[in-house]
Amino acid sequence: MSEPSDSRNGRAARQRRGIYLLPNLLTTTALFFGFYAMVAAINNAFQSAAIGVLIAMVMDGLDGRVARLTNTQSAFGMQYDSIADMVSFGVAPALVMYQWALADLATWGPVWGKLGWLGAFIYAACAGLRLARFNTQFGVVDKRYFQGLPSPSAAAVVAGMVWAGNRLDMGGVGVGLPALVLTVLAGILMVSNVRYYSFKEIDFRYRVPFIAMVLLVLVLAVTSVHPPLVLFLVALVYMGSGPVLTVVQRRRRRNRAVAERSPLEK
């Protein structure tokens, strides 16, 4: 009677050793475009490099959703996704920004040259730290908010600046200092305790007012005027929304605490 049970256990063990194809294929696609962005930046194809990072963002957003919809989540997929994110949203944006503007800071002197590559390194290191913290806190923190700027959003700011600047014929040492400040700031915000709205509560299965579709059409029309600049500004606004949200929430908590005090305490 033990043989059928042993056979079932053996098949279950073989199934556990396998990996799910679809979500990991999407993660691999994100990793591919992150690597492509680095190769394009080395060849001074900065528009292609920035678009590569943005496509990696789309793939990264799809792999987790597909895994949840198809019930194919796994520990392997989570770890693989984190490694791919480090390449696509940590190393790739840092290298793209360095090639586009930060490397040219060396024309101001050796100290500025070091600041250029150190700024890119700070961004990449902060992305790694942010991903490690996210993995250790997974399932513990409030899902409505991110603790620190998400690495894909930070990558969107960096890649968006490169794409918009390249389309506006900007780059090199002329934008080196703003690029350095933005890159370091994005890195610091990734490892900060600043809260960012995650938008995970939005459910697209329900109906929305008709005006929502009208607004969507207007957004698409505005975006079509200059997609790189609009996308960069949207990413920049989201990066700035975290500090504003954190200050507002802390002020509300402080006002609530004051209101709840007893008359004697006041």
| pLDDT in the model for residue 13 | 47
Tell me what the mean pLDDT of segment 114-142 comes to: 89
Within a domain: residue 266? Answer: no
Tell me what the mean pLDDT of segment 85-108 comes to: 96
47 vs 39: CA distance, rounded Å: 12
Range(s) of the domain holding residue 113: 20-200+207-260
84 vs 70: CA distance, rounded Å: 21
46 vs 163: CA distance, rounded Å: 7
| DSSP characters over 2-62 | HHHHHHHHHHHHHHHHS--HHHHHHHHHHHHHHHHHHHHHHTT-HHHHHHHHHHHHHHHHH
Q: How many domains does the chain have?
A: 1
Residue that is written with structure tokens 């991903």 in the block = 131
pLDDT band at 49 (very low <50, low <70, confident <90, very high): very high
Within a domain: residue 63? Answer: yes
Within a domain: residue 10? Answer: no
Within a domain: residue 113? Answer: yes
Neighbours of 112 (CB within 10 A): 17
The 10s digit of each residue's pLDDT in 146-204 is: 899 999 999 999 999 999 999 999 988 889 999 999 999 999 999 999 999 887 766 66
Within a domain: residue 69? Answer: yes
Which CATH number belongs to the domain containing residue 235 in this structure?
1.20.120.1760
pLDDT band at 135 (very low <50, low <70, confident <90, very high): confident
Within a domain: residue 254? Answer: yes
pLDDT band at 141 (very low <50, low <70, confident <90, very high): low
Neighbours of 131 (CB within 10 A): 20
**Percent share of the chain, pLDDT over 70:** 88
Within a domain: residue 147? Answer: yes
Within a domain: residue 2? Answer: no
